[in-house]
Chain A
């Protein structure tokens, strides 16, 4: 009897891939949307050319920046940025920060949550120096806070007036996923190794 394989419906499968300049129009679709850029530093783009420049100047040279695809359609982006010189001791050396944006028409379907989980797994797999992956969400952005919680991040607290968005300092909720959160394997048990019979002084 032939086994029926259930493939995931292509339009619901989330994948991540690298950007190309040809994605400028797709990026423009959400980067020009005030609802999407509301909690971002930048103002909404007015011209596709701004999106093209952003891909060339910022996305392509970035350490880790991916397009979020639903089937073949680019619906958002996700990026992970090391906070310091990777692998050397010092400020930011063991952590990276994550950010993401999804086109408004694809909100509420778990796209961002899946993308965050995949990006987190990739970051920890690719960067052995990584101990902490952090992300912030505006206190007035509960949807983004839920994405991070569902993706397994731990809420650490509210950092007041943490980041300037559109010219105003905003309170941010800080979330993190750390190496020990992800260690699902049982810790190796400590064994007492008796190499030779141990004899007390025999007198």
Chain B
């Protein structure tokens, strides 16, 4: 499954770009992106800082970026959030122990549903890492979180890249929640995606 995003630029604040310029004459070999998910460790703080301090990564996220010097604060975040969480995983590329992002299932007002959040460091955008990680999360999470019947993802209507991730990973688009979320000074419309236990997963 070829997961690279067609690298057209757009006016969206969150843009997936290939990290190096592409040679238009080179044949593109389709490759499946392999990721593994594992629990975080405090020693992951430096790798995590790569995306936690990046304002472009944080643009559509609910958190404000850390300053790259705020190692202690990020360690506290790992301790207080990632390590004691109901389900929080580091995204690692095949053959590499260092995480390049995270995926987590947040509790909601109802015990049968969780909300999936996902983030990938900018250096690894454009290669299907987020899609592979979300797909792996959907495959794992129902067996690991008791009582879970539904995973949902809420994506800003302007975040086309993240919408494509959700769709390619197997989520079903269910509608738009209007004026749903107050984010960084503005009230936003969010696309709601759902995946229920038993939904088919796309081939990896």
| Contact (A161, B150) CB under 8 Å given A94-B181, A154-B178, A156-B176 | yes
> Is A95 at the interface (CB under 8 A from chain B)?
yes
Bitwise, B171-199 to A at CB < 8 A (1) or not (0) is 01011111111111101000010101100
Bitwise, B136-150 to A at CB < 8 A (1) or not (0) is 000000000000011
Q: Is the CB of A164 within 8 A of B112?
A: yes
| Contact (A169, B177) CB under 8 Å given A159-B192, A159-B194, A161-B113 | no
> Is A157 at the interface (CB under 8 A from chain B)?
yes
Instruction: Please report which residues of chain B, range 101-133, place their CB below 8 angstroms from some CB of chain A when the two chains form the complex.
Output: 109-113
Nearest CB on B from A74, distance (A): 28
Instruction: Please report which residues of chain A, range 144-166, place their CB below 8 angstroms from some CB of chain B when the two chains form the complex.
Output: 154, 156-164
Bound: A159/B184 CA distance, A: 26
| Contact (A160, B178) CB under 8 Å given A169-B149, A169-B150 | no
Contacts of B178 in A (CB 8 A): 132, 154, 156, 176, 178
Contacts of A162 in B (CB 8 A): 110, 112-113, 150
Q: Is the CB of B179 within 8 A of A176?
A: yes
Closest to A176 in B: B178
Closest to B106 in A: A91
Q: Is the CB of A93 within 8 A of B174?
A: no
Q: Is the CB of B174 within 8 A of A159?
A: yes
Contacts of B156 in A (CB 8 A): none
| Contact (A132, B150) CB under 8 Å given A157-B192, A158-B174, A162-B110 | no
| Contact (A89, B185) CB under 8 Å given A159-B194, A164-B111 | yes
Q: Is the CB of A156 within 8 A of B182?
A: no
Q: Is the CB of B175 within 8 A of A131?
A: no
Contacts of B176 in A (CB 8 A): 156-157
Q: Is the CB of A160 within 8 A of B150?
A: yes
Write the residues of chain A forming the contact surface with B, with a CB cutoff of 8 angstroms: 83, 89-91, 93-95, 131-132, 134, 154, 156-164, 169, 174, 176, 178-180
10 of the cross-chain contacts (CB-CB < 8 Å) are A89-B183, A154-B178, A156-B177, A156-B178, A157-B174, A161-B196, A164-B111, A169-B150, A174-B175, A176-B178
Write the residues of chain B forming the contact surface with A, with a CB cutoff of 8 angstroms: 62, 109-113, 149-150, 152, 172, 174-185, 187, 192, 194, 196-197
- Known contacts A90-B182, A91-B62, A134-B177, then 18 further A-B pairs from the complex at CB < 8 Å, ordered by chain A residue: A83-B109, A89-B182, A90-B62, A94-B182, A95-B179, A131-B182, A132-B179, A156-B192, A159-B152, A159-B192, A160-B150, A161-B112, A161-B149, A169-B113, A176-B177, A176-B178, A178-B178, A180-B179
